Structure 1
C-alpha cells in the first residue's frame, strides 16, 4: 500500500525515481525497493516524504484516505478558487 502511494505521488509530480532519491539524499535503488514493496521507508523518511509531497504520514501509511493540500501560501482569492474547483469535482459525481 505505501509502495503504491509513493509511486503515485512521485509520478503525479513527473519525478523519476532518481529525482526523488536526490531530494532525499538516498540511492535510486532504495526508492525502487520502496515502490516494489521490498522494503519500507524508515520513520525519518516517512516524515520527509510527507513534507515533500504535502501529505500526512497517515495518508502514506494508508491509515487515512484523505490527501491534504497545503494552501498556506495562497492568497484568499486563490484559496477560494481551489475550494470552488474541489466543489465542482464533488458535484460531478
Structure 2
C-alpha cells in the first residue's frame, strides 16, 4: 500500500471538524495551498509540516507516513489527570497480553 500524505492530512482535518479555510487561516496560508497539500499537488515546507503536526497534535512522522501509531496528547492536563491516563493505558496493555 502506497502512503497518501494528502489523504492523511484531509483525514486529520476532518477529525478536527475544520475546513480547509480554517486550517489555512491558522497557518497563515491560502485555501488553495491546503487543497494542494490534500490533493498531493503541493508539498509543504518543513516549517509548514511542523505547524501542521502541532495543529493536528500528531508527530511529523505520522504526517509523513513513517509512523502509523496514533498519539495521545496529554499536554494541558493536570498532573493527576496525566497519572490516571497513564494507569489506564498500562491496564489496557496489560489485559491485551
Give TM-score scaled by structure 1 length: 0.81
What's 1:45 paired with? 48
Structure 2: stretches of 5+ with no match in the other structure: none
Does the residue aligned with 2:50 lie in a helix, a strand or coil? helix
Please list the CA deviations of residues 43-91 of structure 1 after superposition, one character each: whole Å capped at 9, or x if unmatched: 1100010111111110000001112222032124433554538966xx7
1:79 to 66, 79, 82: 82
Q: What is the alpha-carbon distance in structure 2 between the residues aligned to residue 86 and residue 25 of structure 1?
A: 39
What is the distance in 2 between the residues matched to 1:36 and 1:53?
Answer: 18
TM (normalized to structure 2)?
0.78
Alignment of 1:1-93 (within 5 A): 1-79=4-82, 82=85, 84=88
What CA distance in whole angstroms lies between the structure 2 residues aligned with 1:81 and 1:11?
A: 28
Over 4 Å off, 4+ runs: 80-83, 85-88
Instruction: In structure 1, list runs of 5 or more residues that go unmatched.
Output: none
Aligned residue pairs total 92
RMSD over aligned CA atoms reads 2.4
